[in-house]
Structure 1
Amino acid sequence: MTDERAGRASGGDVDPVTLEILRNHLESVAEEMGHVLITGAYSPNIKERQDCSTALFDADGRMVAQAEHIPVHLGAMPDAVDVVLDENPRPGDVFVVNDPFEGGTHLPDVTLVSTIAPEGDVLGFAVSRAHHADVGGSAPGSMPPGAREIYEEGLRLPAVRLVDGGDLNEGVLDVLLANVRTPDERRADLQAQRAANERAEERVGELLDDHGPLLLDAFDAVVDYSRDRMEAEIAELPDGEYDARDVLEGDGVTDEDIPVEATVTVDGSALDVDFAGAADQVAGNLNAPLSVAKSAVYFVVRAVTDPEIPPNHGCYEPVSVSAPEGSLLNPAPPAAVVGGNVETSQRVTDVTLAALADAIPDRVPAGSQGTMNNLIVGDRDGEFTYYETIAGGFGARPDKDGMDGVQVGMTNTLNTPVEALETEYPMRVETYALRPSSGGDGEYRGGLGLERAVTLQTDATVSLLTERRRTAPAGVDGGEDGATGENLVDGERVPSKASVDVSAGSTVRIRTPGGGGHGDPEDRSADAREADRRDGKVDE
């Protein structure tokens, strides 16, 4: 902590009404950043799917406000800001970073960290993180299922100044654009991120004009407020040690199951999650940096406590996360990691929720689809790269059915609308529908998975990073498991992790998992079963 901040009150001088006003102002700035980024982006992955996140940090690298965007982005952002702090950031600087071993998540998630210095001194940071549809590597889309080293996954950027004191570093930008397949798209998306961060500095400057030093006190106050509320929520959980175990279905190099184990310890107002039982880091790309594991845990803790607690650094202070160095959840370079961010994070979410279900069964749903169903399509000439995560079934809850066809766990994106997909890419959507009977039966039925099929109108490379193709989302308390997913190319089943070169006219069909059921199916009401038949949720 700087001497200046140490000398200020820790938020105690901000009255509750002013605190609430300023908290909402700060969250509004983060949301406006996201709006600027989404409306200014060029790629469908950002402007349509909204695969991006924005947040505000104080001068010490504490998150003080975030937009409600992508959990796996937001929980890992503080590590990226910590890395930037080591680079002596100055007014007018914008750092770019995507290195998973230096504050990133996986290489396609490119983060811009800009200093906020409306009056000349750095008082905070604006941060935007967006999934870029290609950052180089051995396969279009930069998510090669068989990668064994991070070098195969694309351009790796430590925290480096993209803008130095207000001046664009053309050399850094040239290196970046020379290593990607769609440089014009990447340039435009980076410009949108810069615009989002600049909007944050503008808005924070206006708040500083209106409130003066009280704004900086509010940074402390919102963090203190969230920490106090989170500690109170954790204190209401039963003390104890709770365990759960699940598996990942191979790492893209082998098909052997990979164990993921969590031990959750609740002790008063503190919660610890230990992944000592996780597998050693693997040869394939399902390794997940510790920042990704922390993101998943933070998401779960917020989900099972009061989700209305303002999301900032204070929420995370009572929560600790650990994993052995060199393990699946804390790998050493040059491990491949691109699938860890999207798939392993989902399994971390699943096991943490399953462990807490022993403590608070009335707050935890049955197993959800547990995968992002990553589909990446592109051509070797760099004409296009398409990336999509496909929704599936949400697990049944203790008192209601699961949701159909939604993004679950660590992703919170939209879909690519059919019209946008067919306009932007040489692809035609053949099928986009719910999968009847894919949700597990129970007193409350699991949500339905989806079926999405696209026909390619050009030769291309298709990459798939998926899970729950042989291990079903679990039902609980007598509920049945949800249906497993399935990947097909021209009617032939392909593995959960695969890269396939296909010819024009080929059809890729993805069937996503359904959610598990909750409670004995015999207890499902006749009215609910009639509604299932009427709404087409079950096969006749």
Structure 2
Amino acid sequence: MSREEDGNAVDPVTLEILRNRLEGIAEEMGEVLIRGAYSPNIKERQDCSTALFDSEGRMVAQAEHIPVHLGAMPRAVEAVMAKGPEPGDVWALNDPFEGGTHLPDVTLVSPIAPDVAGRPESGGEIVGYAVSRAHHADVGGATPGSMPAGAREIYEEGLRIPGVRLVRDGDLVDDVFALLLANVRTPDERRADVRAQLAAHERAEDRLGDLLARSGDVVRDAFDAVIEYSRDRIEAELDSIPDGVYTARDVLEGDGTGPDRDVAIEVTVTVDGATLNVDFAGTEEQVPGNVNAPLSVAESAVYFVVRCLTDPEIPPNQGCYDPVSVSAPEGSLLNPTSPAAVVGGNVETSQRVTDVVFAALAEAVPDRAPAQGQGTMNNLIVGSREGGFTYYETIGGGAGATPTTDGIDGVQVGMTNTLNTPVEVLEAEYPLYVERYALRPGTGGDGARRGGLGLERVLTVERDATVSLLTERRRHRPSGVAGGGPGALGENLVDGEPVPAKTTVDVEAGTTVTVRTPGGGGHGDPADRDPDAREADRRDGKAETETEE
């Protein structure tokens, strides 16, 4: 029986007001977390996400933060709910095999059971869950930054948290917190960042309590209503995509443990009315290195593509995901079994999943799908084995052109949505000096619409340190579509000498590290480009695309 039939429907005006209030709570959580954090990775780059879930574990509202975080959050909430959380708890987890993505992403989940003024019966009843996920710049493991390029098992990647009470009855569990801090290289920074997450959860409980006090039980009705509203709208969008079976294939450039053999990802997308089935059968088995990705990461990538190819104004919540199913064979690259290494899967494999799903659906809706963007997060980690500092950054590059617009220059694409670390902050916080930070002329693919330009970032490391790089598109260029040209390759250099796409190396003070990021693919026949735009390309250094060696 629908809400309309049982008489409990939320009228459209009230629904819109409450939807915005709920999304506002999720956004305010994010602001509290970002402003309260200590590490530049969270307070400057905003590598974190926040969301609200209902008492059934369904996402109701999310802040528009990191795509790879948000689509995977429901599995974290499911894992915590199975442990019997109680009001006053906050649970911490990062285990990729129990609702996490990769170990640096520490997720907090807390039941919300506000005492509503004037309603004594309300206390102690769980009405929802607050969730935050933040990338912590070090969680232990074999190398500073917890992202070793050659990892072969998850134990090398850091402290594994399977889901533990960090707060009980409103009080911090000191023994658990001490255990976590004892296993990281930068405990003061981690302590401050975790406390910022806890503050965000307190704000969520306060704000939802205020909303319940003002609006009463209609808020709970709104949980169902906003999910149903998004589901109805996404189903209408999916129904407009031609029914059919669409396939695509792409590759990762090795797993960091040996010769850089290509690792295949294959997808079959079946559109049937208002449903979408995405099957990764044919994708390679899990690999020795760390580019394996939990199924939740693959789900995040699929949800992101669906959001991009449908109406972006649809409120993002569980309703958007209900018509979409995702599967991958157990033991495969996209559904590995423990103790597989996975830290690169979250950041790099997720990008390639995005590429292949876009490519498959481009057959169905060519007027909506973009050319390939840079297809990598260009992860750069520099840190001291003795502790003291860990710098982590994902570096932007070229976005793929669309049928109607040029690709954007020097931006994060796909599954990340972070900012950069400002040069002034980077040099003040770390023993690093920025020699160069600039766009790479000529790196966008040619076309009726040009691909975006990549970036070049050159750092001098001023202390002995360990450098890790997890990157892609150093051998296979981002593809153009509909006759558009490919974007340029990326490149990694240490003291001017090329190094592999995935590498960890100890360096001495004075070493220079250069990351050149890929450009985006072009869209459409270059002959169709507007003459005025082509003249602007020449003037702005975009006219000539670098060739692959």
- 1:191-241 Cα offsets, whole Å, 9 max, x none, are 000000110000000000001111111001000000010111100000000
Equivalent of residue 438 in structure 2, options 433, 437, 453: 433
Aligned to 2:218: 214
Question: Are 1:45 and 2:41 an aligned pair?
Answer: yes
Equivalent of residue 282 in structure 2, options 277, 280, 292: 277
**Amino acid of the structure 2 residue aligned with 1:177:** L
Q: 2:357 is paired with a residue of what secondary structure?
A: helix
Question: Are 1:175 and 2:171 an aligned pair?
Answer: no
Q: 2:358 is paired with a residue of what secondary structure?
A: helix
Question: Are 1:232 and 2:227 an aligned pair?
Answer: no
User: Pairwise mapping of residues 110-509 of structure 1 onto structure 2 (< 5 A)?
Assistant: 110-119=106-115, 120-254=124-258, 255-509=260-514
Closer, same or farther in 2 for the Cα pair 1:210/1:289, shift >3 Å? same
- Greater mean deviation of Cα atoms: 152-161 or 11-20: 11-20
User: Pairwise mapping of residues 37-116 of structure 1 onto structure 2 (< 5 A)?
Assistant: 37-116=33-112
Q: Return the alpha-carbon distance in structure 1 between the equivalents of residues 174 and 357 of structure 2.
A: 44
**Amino acid of the structure 1 residue aligned with 2:125:** D
**Amino acid of the structure 2 residue aligned with 1:141:** G
Aligned to 1:19: 15
Deviation at 1:477, TM superposition (A): 1.2
Q: 2:367 is paired with a residue of what secondary structure?
A: helix
Q: Return the alpha-carbon distance in structure 2 between the equivalents of residues 367 and 221 of structure 1.
A: 36
Q: Return the alpha-carbon distance in structure 1 between the equivalents of residues 439 and 181 of structure 2.
A: 39
Deviation at 1:11, TM superposition (A): 9.1
- 1:456-498 Cα offsets, whole Å, 9 max, x none, are 1111000000000000000111111100100000000000000
Q: Return the alpha-carbon distance in structure 2 between the equivalents of residues 8 and 481 of structure 1.
A: 51
TM-score under structure 1 length normalisation: 0.98
**Amino acid of the structure 2 residue aligned with 1:22:** L
Q: Return the alpha-carbon distance in structure 2 between the equivalents of residues 282 and 192 of structure 1.
A: 36
**Amino acid of the structure 1 residue aligned with 2:228:** D
Deviation at 1:8, TM superposition (A): 12
Q: Return the alpha-carbon distance in structure 2 between the equivalents of residues 265 and 77 of structure 1.
A: 25
Q: 2:49 is paired with a residue of what secondary structure?
A: strand
Q: Return the alpha-carbon distance in structure 1 between the equivalents of residues 223 and 530 of structure 2.
A: 50
Deviation at 1:539, TM superposition (A): 5.6
**Amino acid of the structure 1 residue aligned with 2:442:** S
Q: 1:140 is paired with a residue of what secondary structure?
A: coil
Residues 328, 335 of structure 2: 8 Å contact kept: yes
Q: Return the alpha-carbon distance in structure 2 between the equivalents of residues 356 and 12 of structure 1.
A: 38
Residues 52, 128 of structure 2: 8 Å contact kept: yes
Q: 1:362 is paired with a residue of what secondary structure?
A: coil
Aligned to 2:516: 511
Residues 76, 292 of structure 1: 8 Å contact kept: yes
Q: Return the alpha-carbon distance in structure 1 between the equivalents of residues 543 and 433 of structure 2.
A: 28
Deviation at 1:12, TM superposition (A): 4.7
Q: 1:129 is paired with a residue of what secondary structure?
A: strand
- Greater mean deviation of Cα atoms: 194-203 or 392-401: 392-401
- 1:502-535 Cα offsets, whole Å, 9 max, x none, are 1111110000000011111122222111111222
Q: 2:436 is paired with a residue of what secondary structure?
A: strand
Deviation at 1:159, TM superposition (A): 1.1
Q: Return the alpha-carbon distance in structure 2 between the equivalents of residues 452 and 537 of structure 1.
A: 18
Q: 2:97 is paired with a residue of what secondary structure?
A: helix
In structure 2, runs of 5+ residues without a counterpart are 116-123
Residues 393, 446 of structure 1: 8 Å contact kept: yes
Q: 1:401 is paired with a residue of what secondary structure?
A: coil
Q: Return the alpha-carbon distance in structure 2 between the equivalents of residues 11 and 104 of structure 1.
A: 39
Aligned to 1:531: 536
Residues 405, 450 of structure 1: 8 Å contact kept: yes
Q: Return the alpha-carbon distance in structure 2 between the equivalents of residues 200 and 30 of structure 1.
A: 7
- Greater mean deviation of Cα atoms: 111-120 or 131-140: 111-120
Q: Return the alpha-carbon distance in structure 1 between the equivalents of residues 388 and 543 of structure 2.
A: 41
- 1:229-255 Cα offsets, whole Å, 9 max, x none, are 011110000000000000000001131
Residues 44, 419 of structure 2: 8 Å contact kept: yes
Q: Return the alpha-carbon distance in structure 2 between the equivalents of residues 12 and 315 of structure 1.
A: 22
Closer, same or farther in 2 for the Cα pair 1:206/1:10, shift >3 Å? farther
**Amino acid of the structure 1 residue aligned with 2:412:** Q
Residues 443, 544 of structure 2: 8 Å contact kept: no
Residues 181, 381 of structure 1: 8 Å contact kept: yes
- 1:390-418 Cα offsets, whole Å, 9 max, x none, are 00000111122111011000000000000
Aligned to 2:120: none
Q: 1:320 is paired with a residue of what secondary structure?
A: strand
Q: Return the alpha-carbon distance in structure 1 between the equivalents of residues 236 and 294 of structure 2.
A: 29
Residues 10, 220 of structure 1: 8 Å contact kept: no
Q: 2:176 is paired with a residue of what secondary structure?
A: helix
Q: Return the alpha-carbon distance in structure 2 between the equivalents of residues 114 and 389 of structure 1.
A: 29
Q: 1:363 is paired with a residue of what secondary structure?
A: coil
**Amino acid of the structure 1 residue aligned with 2:91:** F
Residues 145, 499 of structure 1: 8 Å contact kept: yes
Q: Return the alpha-carbon distance in structure 2 between the equivalents of residues 44 and 159 of structure 1.
A: 26
Residues 11, 218 of structure 1: 8 Å contact kept: no
Percent identity of paired positions between Structure 1 and Structure 2: 74
**Amino acid of the structure 2 residue aligned with 1:392:** G
Aligned to 1:35: 31
Instruction: Report the RMSD for the aligned CA atoms in angstroms.
Output: 1.5
TM-score under structure 2 length normalisation: 0.96
Q: Return the alpha-carbon distance in structure 2 between the equivalents of residues 9 and 433 of structure 1.
A: 59
In structure 1, runs of 5+ residues without a counterpart are 1-5
Deviation at 1:9, TM superposition (A): 8.7
Residues 272, 320 of structure 1: 8 Å contact kept: yes
Moved over 4 A (4+): 6-12
Q: Return the alpha-carbon distance in structure 1 between the equivalents of residues 385 and 277 of structure 2.
A: 45
**Amino acid of the structure 2 residue aligned with 1:411:** T
* Count of residues paired in the alignment: 536
Q: Return the alpha-carbon distance in structure 2 between the equivalents of residues 218 and 163 of structure 1.
A: 29
Deviation at 1:10, TM superposition (A): 8.4
Deviation at 1:146, TM superposition (A): 0.2
**Amino acid of the structure 2 residue aligned with 1:244:** A
Deviation at 1:538, TM superposition (A): 3.7
Q: Return the alpha-carbon distance in structure 2 between the equivalents of residues 390 and 291 of structure 1.
A: 24
Q: Return the alpha-carbon distance in structure 2 between the equivalents of residues 258 and 249 of structure 1.
A: 7
**Amino acid of the structure 1 residue aligned with 2:50:** T
